[in-house]
Amino acid sequence: MILNKRIIIKIAIFSILNIIYISCFQNRVDSLLREAENILNQINILSISEDDSTQTSTIAMMTRLLIISDELENRQSNMSIKQIEKYLSLFNEMNGFSNPLQQQNVINPSSSYIGSRPSFNYFTGIGSITTKTRDTVSHTVTVVMNIGYDKDDIETANELISKQIELRDFVRQYFSGKFANELIPENEERLKREIIEIINIRYLDNPRVRIILFDQLDVMETF
């Protein structure tokens, strides 16, 4: 009986420590994301100035962004979906600035994808997902999404099949976290990039998803 109580106490202590650790981790990621967002806002303001001192400040802030980016990249595997979405949104914006930030997103000229159209196989096991958006006025979104990976990549094919249920749940959560105006056709490419990054980071042992195609992405207001 005493032994059982000791085990229960140890489990309780471990659980509390785990909760504290997760809380601290999440708070650190949120803090970094807020700092990155503030820096980007300042850079946007300073970018209209030709003054040498403001250009120096901009370079310093860009350098800080690179440091934040590296730390967040190391923490990606444990981020929440919302944090990953925020991270991708901020650093897609960051990659739009001039050097040194553009160096993070340089395409390798030796890539086999340059100058030729790659061939993909597609995982179609997610099927049709219908969920409500975040809007106050009720909207529903119906999605049929296919995941593309390199042809003859058997490892990724098997991994996607094994995680079919998790991927269906991810798609439902992802689109239920969006507003209807975020799901317009003009935003499809951005949505696809976010989904690719999230699947590669959160669900696959190796980042091998190459492309996302929608057979259907319909948003309707419900009455």
Q: Could you read off the pLDDT of 11-66 as tens digits, one per residue?
A: 655 555 455 544 444 577 888 888 888 877 777 766 655 555 566 566 667 767 77
Tell me the sheet residues that pair with 122: 148
pLDDT band at 79 (very low <50, low <70, confident <90, very high): confident
Angle value at C-alpha 166, between 164 and 170, nearest 5 degrees: 115
CATH topology of domain 120-221: Tetrahydropterin Synthase; Chain A (3.30.479)
CA distance 142 to 148: 20
Confidence band of 111 (pLDDT split at 50, 70, 90): very low
Determine the Cα–Cα distance for residues 52 and 16; give it in Å rounded to an integer: 52
Is pTM beyond 0.85? Reply is no
Residue where the block lists tokens 């890539």: 111
Query: Could you tell me which of 34, 84, 55 has the C-alpha nearest to residue 198?
Result: 84
The structural domains of the chain, with segments of one domain joined by +, span: 2-105, 120-221
Terminal Cα-to-Cα distance of the chain (whole angstroms): 59
